[in-house]
A = this chain, B = another copy of it.
């Protein structure tokens, strides 16, 4: 056991392998996840290690992938299905919204859907159209689904393990521009802590990724590093900014968020997705509902514009930047 430089992608890959090792019920499938190891190599080596029956390529059909995952879950498996890119999960939307999310409820708990849908999402990697959507709001709006999205290498490992072990279906959003980010992590230690139950749970728990007292940035997934950078910058200007990383979008951690905002009295929600009717809207709405009398200013949002995700030459304008976050912080009526 030792600390080493681990990439976000490697943490995910290790989580999958460890989960497959821990239970024969776990099976991994999707497009190109077998021989190729996935277009992002997140499933690299799993077929070689666990056999073609436990990590395999399917025909090219997303509704088919999720629909058969539903059947597998009905029959005792814990499927982990990969959608190759965010926008290519849309053909499976009916299976997700009408079955994955509802089967447990429909059967009064007789059937469980312990399945995970992994979706590489978001932009910032120069991807062409359909490869950069932030589609988490569609799923977060669908009762019965849990929605996780890690922002750190450690969380990538821990949250994917939690997702696979959850008796409920989890849509697991992997910020693709963090795949190649790295951190010093001891994966062996993490594994044993996770398996011993000595790690704090991430599901339903937001974490304060940076402490501060003047304002709170509430964020998740690919926007967390941007928020941390903005907070760092703000600190240079003498502003103490707290950053809350949700990680678990559903279930949502009202307590941690509200505690932070009540403390700082100011909040900005940051998310890359287009803002209208989004998770960011929800966070803003519930934060003002719960913290109204502590607020010195409205809860603001910094999000992607309400436009289709733009082409590579334009995406830097669209993705919330440190500057836009700092501007929003400036707008929080500091004279109040």
CB contacts under 8 Å to B, within A8-64, are 63
0 or 1 for each of A80-123: is its CB under 8 Å from B? (1 = yes): 00000001001101100110011001100000000000000000
0 or 1 for each of A270-302: is its CB under 8 Å from B? (1 = yes): 000010111111101110111010010111110
Residues of B within 8 A of A276 (CB): 140-141, 143, 250, 252, 282
Tell me the number of copies of this protein.
2
A102 to B137, CA, bound (A): 18
Is the CB of A127 closer than 8 A to any CB of chain B?
A: no
Residues of B within 8 A of A277 (CB): 137, 140-141, 277-279, 281-282
A286 to B282, CA, bound (A): 11
23 cross-chain CB contacts under 8 A = A87-B94, A91-B93, A101-B308, A105-B308, A137-B141, A137-B277, A138-B138, A141-B141, A141-B276, A141-B278, A143-B276, A144-B307, A277-B279, A277-B282, A278-B282, A280-B285, A281-B281, A284-B289, A285-B288, A288-B298, A289-B299, A289-B300, A289-B301
Given contacts A90-B98, A252-B276, A277-B279, 5 further A-B contacts (CB under 8 A): A87-B97, A102-B129, A141-B278, A143-B308, A280-B285
